[in-house]
Amino acid sequence: MIAMVELDRRINGMQRPWHPFQIATWFLFPIILAHYYAFLEHLLWDPVAVEIVLTIVFSIFSICTAVFAYYTVTIDPIDDAVLCVEVPASTGGTSVTKEVIHCYLCEKDVHQTSKHCRFCDKCIIGFDHHCKWLNTCIGKKNYPYFLGIVTFVGLMTSESLAISIALLVESFAYSDGFMDRLNDGDFLKGRIGTELTLSALQGLLIASVVVLLALVLMILQLGTFHAVLIYRNLTTYDYIVLEQKRLRDKENDRLKQQIEKQKARSKTAIGAADATGPARPLGSSNKVPSGGIEMNANGLTMGRVGSNSSAQQIMSVEGSVPEAKTSEPESNSARRYAQVPAESDVVTTEQADGDHNV
């Protein structure tokens, strides 16, 4: 038997505290509606059928957006296993599910696709992401409704953008006919309540195109992103984990290449030093041509050969310095030894375990 229990947790997106982005959507959506019904609709073309059809289509898109948003926000995307108390098998109880992982925060065995959201403080089955604009998690239970929001918001804003662009082009290309159509029968004054000049209308239309274009591009990018995820059978969480692993692997490959190049340079330098042979003993004679520095057997400077100074001015210190001890020749390779870090110094990070609940 499995009993259901109610936990002290966040249930859905309408529960406080509300996120600032969520409050912003409460203002943005009505503004988009008001922009169409209070402004664009009054500038539509004759016959009236065109205005009616476009307005009905826009209204359908708006209603669908509101309905999908309501279901997305109000549905609790929690893993049902968190709400269940499993009765021991000796009393006839059964396992919650066959493919489970343990969440140490919920202290429950949950589905392997579940992840614990730190904002909602619960495990979400089929976790995709936490949406701040809706103030709720998007998972298996409400993901289809979330896609509905993205789709119909995109259609709604795209229609407003297309109408705004068409009216803007008409205002510049056929300015006289544009104003005659709007002023016919006190059109603007009767519907908007004031008389607007051509420049004012063009300014409003330009502002509409700029704002709506930005919205449409953002929604298009979001919709395209989720379409690719669906095609690749990934969630947003899976994509982020894979992207982080790709960046870590790229950084580790870069570090390994640096180490290999440093090893190659060190081997080249050591090989060149060994090719020059062993260093000459300190006791050998080191004489240079006239004008250079003359060295005695102990490597001490005696004077300049060929200079104008007399031989008496050259001070010999051979008798005052003890004979240098003969030592084994030291190879230049020993002097130029370069410490090369081992490959084991590069720390690689394995892919984050998708089944680990944090």
Condensed to tens digits (0 to 9), the pLDDT of residues 246-286 reads: 999 999 999 999 998 888 888 888 877 767 655 555 555 54
Structure tokens at 239: 């994509």
In the block, which residue shows the tokens 């957006």? 65
* CB-CB contact of 235 with 127 (8 Å): yes
159 alpha-carbon distance from chain centroid: 31
Would you state the pLDDT for residue 327?
43
Measured distance CA(20)–CA(18) in Å, rounded: 7
Tell me the average confidence (pLDDT) per consecutive run of 10 residues in the chain, 358 residues long: 54 87 93 92 82 94 96 92 60 50 88 90 93 93 95 96 94 84 60 68 93 96 96 94 94 92 84 66 50 46 44 42 44 37 37 39
* CB-CB contact of 182 with 43 (8 Å): yes
Measured distance CA(332)–CA(14) in Å, rounded: 76
Most distant CA pair in the chain, distance: 125
* CB-CB contact of 94 with 168 (8 Å): no
Domain ranges (residues) in the chain: 20-77+139-233, 236-266
Sorted by sequence, the CB contacts under 8 Å of residue 214 that are 6+ apart come out as none
* CB-CB contact of 125 with 79 (8 Å): yes
* CB-CB contact of 106 with 84 (8 Å): no
Query: HSE (CB half, 13 Å, CA atoms) of 270?
Result: 11
Structure tokens at 105: 């925060």
- pLDDT tens digits for range 13-53: 888 888 999 999 999 999 999 999 988 988 888 778 888 99
Reported pTM: 0.67
Structure tokens at 173: 């290309």
- Give me the residues paired with residue 303 across strands: 294
Provide the 3-class DSSP secondary structure of residue 25.
Answer: helix
Sorted by sequence, the CB contacts under 8 Å of residue 101 that are 6+ apart come out as 109, 110, 111, 112, 114, 355, 356, 357
Residue type, 256: K
Measured distance CA(158)–CA(164) in Å, rounded: 10
